[in-house]
Amino acid sequence: MSLRNRNGIWHYRFELDGKEYAQTTGLAATQQNMRDAQDQESQHRQALRDGQNTTRRIVIRQFDDAASDFLAWAAISYREHPNSYKRIAASFSSAAIFFGRERVTMIDEGMIEAYKSWRIKEHSVRDITLRHDLHALSTFFGFATKQHWARENPIRNVVIPSDANAIRIHVINASEEKIYFERAAKYRDLHDAAKLILLQGMRPEEVVQLAKSNISLERTELRVTSGKTPAARRTLNLTSESKQILAARMGGDSPWIFPSKRHPGTHIGRLNSAHDRVCNDALAKGLELNFVLYDLRHTFATRMAEAGIDLATLAAILGHNSIRIVQRYVHPTAEHKKNAMLRYEESLKPTAAVEIHTGEKRLN
């Protein structure tokens, strides 16, 4: 018999007529359960001999070979989202080292947990990177089950860092902003939407869903009418540049600020593809642009905080009902923190002078 104890569960693997079969018994790997586990293996063998097997036969593939086929598929499937493919490929560079020649069908929850520990201990990765790694593996196992390389996706039973613990935030600097908008100019919808996100702190989906009826150029206001919470439904005051952008888009028969060209009467969907093209074009020319549209909102929040806007007001503008949530988005620069300490030190000087003067008077 070929029983194996894998993470406290009896598994078996055997070869029959030149083909290899592997399966879990679901039984705890105890001496008491060994006989029942052996019986499961025997029944599986006999069912195969009798032609009664109802279990799909697994094609044995080693991980590194299977990963090459998967990445070739992913390159085509994610051709409209090249940055997503780059993240998957980056994750697989480490996964291929860890899993190597291991058979895909033998990779279970225990091995995935070991991979998580290895990434943290050996590479000191953050939660956001670990989250990307596990989502890449989950996509791989979804592909592997369709190819009959695996029976199930082991990632389903593994804890993945949550969004709250794995927030990816990049605050855009002045140089990146200049490079980005110079190249985004040839995509009018992207350029204008990105500007509104950066100038008003709106979510990307809030911008593309703006209706003309929710814009008041006279009052220099716009209303966000959708959102999961009451705080998300809010009125924003327009900057002068935002007003100019919106005024230029108020014409036409469509009720939307960003009307769809393919489906008249509806608004555009997402702008990720155009954004990725702009970033990839810059990267191809040796210019560093590596951020997502949502980072424009993070940048707005950070700049507002650096301008001295209190967090309660900023939360209302961003459409959050909690200051604690806003704190995750605000990332003051080193220069801003340095200037804050200088201002604080200046504020102490009059107090110190009064104390010294008062002390001298008492001595006299």
* Region(s) of the chain under CATH 1.10.150: 63-165
Taking the domain 174-329, which CATH number applies? 1.10.443.10
pLDDT tens for each residue of the chain, 364 residues long: 578 887 677 888 888 877 888 877 767 788 888 887 888 788 788 877 776 655 556 788 899 999 999 999 999 988 877 778 888 998 999 999 999 999 999 999 999 999 999 998 888 887 878 888 999 999 999 999 888 888 889 998 888 887 655 456 788 999 999 999 999 999 999 999 999 999 999 999 999 999 999 999 999 999 999 877 888 899 999 999 999 999 999 998 899 999 988 777 788 877 888 998 998 888 888 887 888 899 999 999 988 988 888 888 999 999 988 887 787 766 666 677 777 788 778 878 755 444 545 554 444 4
**Are the CB atoms for 196 and 245 separated by under 8 Å?**
yes
* Region(s) of the chain under CATH 1.10.443.10: 174-329
Q: Out of 1.20.120, 3.30.70, 3.30.43, 1.10.150, select the CATH number for domain 63-165.
A: 1.10.150
